[in-house]
Structure 1
């Protein structure tokens, strides 16, 4: 087992702790990122199940948009 790679069970505890520290810090500039993390919490943590992202889907969407704008 590699110790330099985060695991999902650890992140279930670390992410909420980070979020609480950010809230307590009073930095308003972190508001957008903390809302994004809260809204996508499970999806972010699901990355650790199989280390996959939605990059292929995003790339395909970008190609469709580029094709549409060139027509």
Structure 2
């Protein structure tokens, strides 16, 4: 595998180097998907729900009540 990284680095294309570095940095996480079929889709979905909920209640002054409502609706 390292031979491929070296070839990409020697090619001199910055975009390829960026991709190669991203793969190198996230290598174990990428392989984890193929080993366990696990993703962070549930966390991303929950994050999207929080963002949608938050957009409905812009300007909330009472953060404690906001968090209470959030846990009652999504927990």
Larger radius of gyration: 2
User: Any gaps of 5 or more consecutive residues in structure 2?
Assistant: 58-75
Write the deviation string for residues 16-58 of structure 1: whole angstroms up to 9, x where unpaired.
3432222121111123322221221111111121222111211
Residues 1:17 and 1:56: Cα distance change in structure 2 (over 3 Å): farther
User: Any gaps of 5 or more consecutive residues in structure 1?
Assistant: 1-13
Q: What's the TM-score once normalised by structure 1's chain length?
A: 0.61
Q: Within the alignment, does 1:25 sit opposite 2:30 as a pair?
A: no
- Which of 31, 36, 49 pairs up with 2:22? 36
CA RMSD of aligned residues (A): 1.8
Q: What's the TM-score once normalised by structure 2's chain length?
A: 0.59
Q: In the TM superposition, what are the counterparts of 1:50-65 in structure 2 within 5 Å?
A: 50-65=36-51
Q: Report how many residues are paired.
A: 57
